[in-house]
Amino acid sequence: MGLRTLTSRARVVASVAGLGSLIACGTAEPVPVAPVALVARALSTCSGGGGDPFSEVNAVEVTVQDKDGGLLQNARTGLSGNQVNIGGVPEGEDRIVTITGFVGDDARWFARSTQVDVERGRDNPVNATFSRLGGFSCPQTDAEFTHRLFPAVTALDGGFYLVSGGFTNVTPGATTAFTTTDGSKKAFIYDSQTGGLTRLESAMTTARGAHTAVTVRGATKSQVILIGGATKMTFDPAAANGFGWAFDIADAHSSVDVFEWTTGESPASGAFLTDVQGVMVAKRVFATAANISSDGLVLICDGGPWGGAEPPEYAECDVFDGTAHAFLDNSYNFPRQYRAGGSVATIETGDVTRLLYVGGTKGRMVEIYRSSTEQRAGSGGTFTFPEGNYDDAPRTSFGSLTSLGNNRFAYIAGVRWNGSGFDQPSTDNAAILTVSESGASTTVEALPFGGLSVGRYFHTAGAPGVDRLTLLGGFTSGKTLDATGSVVQVQFDPGDPTLPIGLAPAPETEDAFGARAGAASLLLANDTILIAGGIGGTADLETTAQGAFEIYTPSVVLPVAK
């Protein structure tokens, strides 16, 4: 498994001869065009078969869109060696170039490059990596990337991604214990341009699983902050609250690790710091964390035990200063209520950052956070309950919160608190949240819906299409470690993007997903989904075999004309 590379550059050439009568909007002047040079590679399929588009593809379709998805050019042509020639690619910035490879009449391969600048007088090189459309591709992984539960993944710069930690050992029994090992200190860099996953020479100072990762970008130095986590988590199928997962405070971490690299250089040259100062006010597992300033401040909240006591030390959030490699002495950020197993998403950044907190509570489902411009001086931000009708949203923990764009968010699945314990996962635990703002007032409206095929938590979610949300895997019970391979696609009404109009399994033409839960996942810049780690059962952690690391390319990623 790995990556195939063309020995020479395949070119998508925008020729003036093919321009024809393409006219600039509102004028009679032709739109200037320029060549685009495609550097083509391909990931292998996870089965190892059908992994070479350059030998099986008989035609390609090249689509060029503007950054808002507007169609600029579309052409389908046959392959001629390594050359693909199309005409009429207009000049401009932030173009989206999609290449679809056909085998017969079937679209089988997909590649996309974003933020492409097309300019006359230059080659305009485009890096694009083919993956199997409607299937799973397996990049070449480092032998030291073994099976792991609850790792973390975050985007770096230049198509690089950091995968860190996770529980790498298991002790089965009446209560199953998942623990870290020296392998849990390891971190790996995935290069989406070459399709390779390699271990960093530098390692974390602390073995972590169930931790949180946040990227902080700076003018000279950029960082990933790895927050909290634990050395051990347990699963008791007979837990009185109906949810077997738990951790002991003694096994949790109040520290952070910081991975740092020079901005503008390859993150692969970075290293973990050894001069990080201070610890959090509480030991946090599955903490929520987000950037709250443009100068390196990260807000860290929640992460306490769930389904029982609510320790008072979690009443305050921490603020980590990436520029100083230290925590601020005084945070002064106090959530309105206790959350454990909740989620956070960014509504908007700027002088004042707004965050959306959802789930993980026995109280109201939603809170809004507004940052303070005086945070470094000791004046913290504010948490408020927004206006609107959102209390009908499922009161769950460990659901997924996914941005759908335009201040729309999908809160999906999880385990629901019933007042005295956790219900088993339900197919009806889902809602679309729409956020609107007027001055200092924020309104959140929730539209609950169901039909998720199977109830789940600790699953993967991503929104790679303009009108689709994709869910993969997850555990299906709070009383067993049963994982599912279910893949569900949620479609939204193009005329009313707040309205889900259909839920269906992935098309039968797509590859099956191996049952797995507890993976780290991320929507990549090319709209494919990276899925790192996770387990199908405890047996996975009883070996030293290579862990799961896949790129999922749902069939809904193909361009939609606007």
pLDDT at 464: 84
Token pair of 419 as six digits = 């007042």
pLDDT at 5: 38
Give mean pLDDT, residues 263-286.
Answer: 96
pLDDT tier at 47, thresholds 50, 70, 90: low
Sign of CA dihedral 119, 120, 125, 126: positive
Rounded to 5 degrees, φ, ψ at 297 are -90, 135
Type of residue at 96: I
Token pair of 359 as six digits = 């789930």
CATH class in words for 136-557: mainly beta
DSSP secondary structure of 318-351: EEEETTTTEE-S------SS--SS-EEEEEE-SS
pLDDT tier at 561, thresholds 50, 70, 90: low
Q: 441 vs 22, 435, 436, CA distance in Å?
A: 46, 11, 9
Domain ranges of the chain: 3-133, 136-557
As a whole number of angstroms, the distance between CA 562 and CA 147 comes to 42
pLDDT at 440: 82
3-class DSSP state for residue 184?
helix
pLDDT at 534: 98
Q: Is 415 exposed, middle or buried (0-12, 13-18, 19+ CB in 10 A)?
A: buried
Q: Are strands 245-246 and 232-235 parallel, antiparallel or unpaired?
A: antiparallel
Residue 210 has pLDDT above 60, yes or no: yes
> Mean pLDDT across the chain, nearest whole number?
88
CB–CB of 375/298 below 8 Å?
no
Residues 6+ apart with CB under 8 A from 476: 425, 454, 455, 456, 482, 483, 484
As a whole number of angstroms, the distance between CA 401 and CA 410 comes to 6
Give mean pLDDT, residues 518-538.
Answer: 96
What percent of the residues of the chain are helix, what percent strand, and what percent coil, each to the nearest 5?
5, 45, 50
CB–CB of 391/358 below 8 Å?
no
Is the whole model's pTM more than 0.85, yes or no? yes
Residue 237 has pLDDT above 50, yes or no: yes
As a whole number of angstroms, the distance between CA 501 and CA 497 comes to 10
Among 49-63, 203-217, 334-348, 536-550, the least confident range: 49-63
CB–CB of 218/175 below 8 Å?
no
Question: How many angstroms separate the first and last alpha carbons of the chain?
Answer: 37
Cβ-based neighbour number of residue 527 at 10 Å: 22
CA angle 498, 525, 51 (to 5 degrees): 115
3-class DSSP state for residue 149?
strand
pLDDT at 114: 86
Paired residues of 163 in beta bridges: 153, 188
As a whole number of angstroms, the distance between CA 329 and CA 345 comes to 25
Token pair of 35 as six digits = 């060549």
The conformation of residue 392, written as its DSSP 8-state character, comes to T
Sheet harboring 496-505: ordered strands across?
Answer: 460-465, 468-472, 487-493, 496-505
pLDDT at 172: 94
The conformation of residue 238, written as its DSSP 8-state character, comes to T
pLDDT in tens, 65-124: 998 888 988 888 776 555 565 666 788 898 898 989 999 999 999 999 888 888 877 777
Q: Are strands 288-291 and 271-272 parallel, antiparallel or unpaired?
A: unpaired
Give mean pLDDT, residues 228-251.
Answer: 97
Residue 7 has pLDDT above 50, yes or no: no
Token pair of 343 as six digits = 């989620």
Give mean pLDDT, residues 247-260.
Answer: 98
Q: Are strands 10-15 and 36-43 parallel, antiparallel or unpaired?
A: antiparallel
Residue among 52, 182, 263, 206 nearest 544 (CA): 182
Residue 313 has pLDDT above 70, yes or no: yes
Rounded to 5 degrees, φ, ψ at 274 are -115, 5
As a whole number of angstroms, the distance between CA 494 and CA 16 comes to 35
Query: What CATH code is assigned to 3-133?
Result: 2.60.40
pLDDT at 547: 94
pLDDT at 494: 62
Q: 39 vs 99, 127, 139, 283, CA distance in Å?
A: 12, 5, 17, 46
Burial 177-216 (b: 16+ CB within 10 A, else e): ebbbbebbbbbbbbbbebbbbbbbebbbbbbbbbbbbbbb
pLDDT at 48: 60
Residue among 435, 443, 446, 498 nearest 469 (CA): 498
CB–CB of 554/509 below 8 Å?
no
Residue among 136, 239, 157 nearest 529 (CA): 136
Q: Rounded to a whole number, what is the largest CA-CA distance in the chain?
A: 77
3-class DSSP state for residue 55?
helix
Residue 502 has pLDDT above 80, yes or no: no
Spell out where 119-231 has E strands: 125-132, 135-137, 152-155, 160-164, 169-171, 176-179, 187-191, 196-199, 212-216, 221-227
As a whole number of angstroms, the distance between CA 36 and CA 45 comes to 27
The better pLDDT of the pair 468, 401 is held by 401
Among 135-144, 237-246, 482-491, 553-562, the least confident range: 553-562
3-class DSSP state for residue 142?
coil
Rounded to 5 degrees, φ, ψ at 393 are -65, 150
